[in-house]
């Protein structure tokens, strides 16, 4: 029986890189039936809504989606569909691996997976101004809410990820020396959960500012990282910078009832429609999806074919220093598969 997966091609370069990714998965023999749905700008003319009910219902049914990038209008227009999806399916863990594929950069050995708490902390959006005298905006307050429940599920996810992928160490990144209550709770929960994995997964604590420096100085010392929402937002971009930027950065959004896999980059309006976008990040996101579905061997084969194609540098897109089109890059990966 094939696994049914919701496929959202998305906006801008989305349809091109999605088509390339689907071809690579098919060539790998993955037994997937795609339930194609629309969202974002592409859905507005057909459904009058950037987040159609059919798309939400499909993800509710399949519980797994592969998604191209979606445009978010700046200032006016509809609100971010990505944020709406995160909220609708309570996607609490954002998983961002950073692995060196192109040698010859600053680092040759980075292989980090960052697990970011995705629903709490400073991003809950509870903020207000404080009036003093006749200044209505004399001060501003933003609440950072950390719960035991939210901390437990994301930290446990990080440890389970480490076990499932044969990884050795989980580093919890925090600022509990200053934010003794909110960050202190996250750290305490981490210490408790770490005891359950003693002997199987090493546990380490790092204060976020020192961590930023260590990631730049010796990233090879780190394995799985788990942290709260804001620190995760910043450090996940930092680690993608260590391995060459957005073109090869995949992300997974994991919830209790659904998981959505996507590239970290956006719709790249400057190159949309030109057929030159790098499909690598979405292909790697599809590999995370196969891992999630338990098909880790196939995910490994696709990653190896992508990595070999990139290291050969003959059939890569121009952002990686080549001249190939999206389609030609995918063809080269398929030939290796």
Three-state DSSP class for 310? helix
- Per the structure block, which two tokens stand in for 222? 């780190």
Binding mask 195-234 for ligand NAD (x = CB under 6 A): ----------------------------------------
Q: Which is nearer to ligand NAD, 226 or 277 (CB)?
A: 277
Residue showing tokens 């380490």: 204
Question: CA-CA distance, 25 to 31, in Å (whole number)?
Answer: 9
Spatial CA neighbour of 168 closest among 107, 214, 222: 222
Of 135-143, 186-194, 277-285, 288-296: span binding ligand NAD (CB under 6 A): 277-285
Per DSSP, what are the bridge partners of residue 12?
none
Among 35, 262, 291, 295, binds ligand NAD (CB under 6 A): 262
Spatial CA neighbour of 21 closest among 311, 248, 282, 323: 282
Binding mask 135-174 for ligand NAD (x = CB under 6 A): ----------------------------------------
Q: Within 305-324, which residues bind ligand NAD (CB under 6 A)?
A: 319
Strand order in the sheet with 32-36: 32-36, 3-8, 64-67, 259-263, 250-255, 91-99, 111-117, 224-227, 169-174, 202-207
Q: Which is nearer to ligand NAD, 194 or 277 (CB)?
A: 277
Spatial CA neighbour of 326 closest among 261, 268, 280: 280
Examine residue 236 and tell whether it contacts ligand NAD (CB under 6 A): no
Q: How far is the CB of 246 from ligand NAD (least distance, A)?
A: 5
Residue showing tokens 């990505």: 82
Q: Which is nearer to ligand NAD, 5 or 211 (CB)?
A: 5
Residue showing tokens 């990595």: 307
Of 27-35, 93-101, 261-269, 327-335: span binding ligand NAD (CB under 6 A): 261-269
Judged by CB under 6 A, the number of residues near ligand NAD is 21
Numbers of helices and strands, H then E, in the chain: 11, 12
Q: What is the DSSP letter of 303?
A: H
Three-state DSSP class for 245? coil
Residues serving a catalytic function are: 123, 175, 209, 233
Among 241, 266, 296, 328, binds ligand NAD (CB under 6 A): 266
Examine residue 6 and tell whether it contacts ligand NAD (CB under 6 A): no
Question: CA-CA distance, 247 to 280, in Å (whole number)?
Answer: 7
Among 63, 265, 298, 303, binds ligand NAD (CB under 6 A): 265
Q: How far is the CB of 175 from ligand NAD (least distance, A)?
A: 26
Examine residue 246 and tell whether it contacts ligand NAD (CB under 6 A): yes
Q: How far is the CB of 40 from ligand NAD (least distance, A)?
A: 8
Three-state DSSP class for 296? helix
Give me the residues that bind ligand NAD (CB under 6 A), please: 13, 17, 69-72, 82, 246-247, 262, 265-271, 277-278, 281, 319
């Amino acid at each position: 029986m094939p696994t049914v997966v919701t496929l959202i091609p998305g906006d801008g370069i989305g349809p091109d890189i999605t088509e390339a990714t689907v071809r690579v998965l098919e060539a790998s023999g993955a037994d997937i039936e795609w339930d194609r749905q629309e969202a974002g700008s592409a859905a507005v003319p057909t459904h009058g809504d950037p987040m159609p009910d059919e798309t939400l219902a499909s993800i509710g049914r399949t519980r797994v989606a592969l998604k191209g990038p979606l445009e978010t209008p700046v200032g006016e227009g509809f609100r971010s569909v990505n944020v709406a999806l995160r909220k609708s399916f309570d996607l609490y863990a954002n998983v961002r691996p950073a692995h060196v594929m192109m040698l010859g950069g600053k680092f040759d050995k980075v292989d980090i997976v960052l697990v970011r708490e995705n629903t709490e902390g400073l991003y809950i959006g509870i903020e207000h101004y404080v009036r003093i005298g006749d200044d209505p905006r004399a001060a501003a307050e933003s609440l950072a809410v950390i719960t035991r429940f939210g901390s437990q599920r994301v930290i446990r996810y990080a440890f389970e990820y480490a076990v499932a992928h044969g990884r050795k160490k989980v580093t919890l990144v925090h600022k509990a020396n200053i934010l003794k209550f909110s960050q202190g709770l996250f750290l305490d929960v981490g210490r408790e959960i770490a005891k359950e994995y003693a002997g199987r997964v090493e546990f380490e604590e790092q204060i976020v500012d020192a961590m930023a420096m260590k990631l730049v100085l010796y990233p090879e010392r780190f394995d799985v990282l788990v942290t709260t929402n804001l620190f995760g937002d910043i450090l996940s971009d930092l680690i993608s910078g260590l391995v060459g930027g957005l073109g090869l950065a995949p992300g997974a959004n994991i919830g209790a009832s659904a998981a959505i896999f996507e590239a970290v980059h956006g719709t790249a309006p400057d190159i949309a429609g030109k057929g030159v976008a790098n499909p690598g990040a979405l292909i790697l996101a599809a590999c995370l999806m196969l891992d999630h579905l338990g098909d880790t061997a196939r995910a490994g084969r696709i990653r190896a074919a992508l990595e070999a194609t990139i290291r050969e540098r003959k059939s890569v897109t121009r952002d990686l220093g080549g001249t190939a089109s999206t389609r030609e890059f995918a063809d080269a990966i398929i030939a290796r598969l």
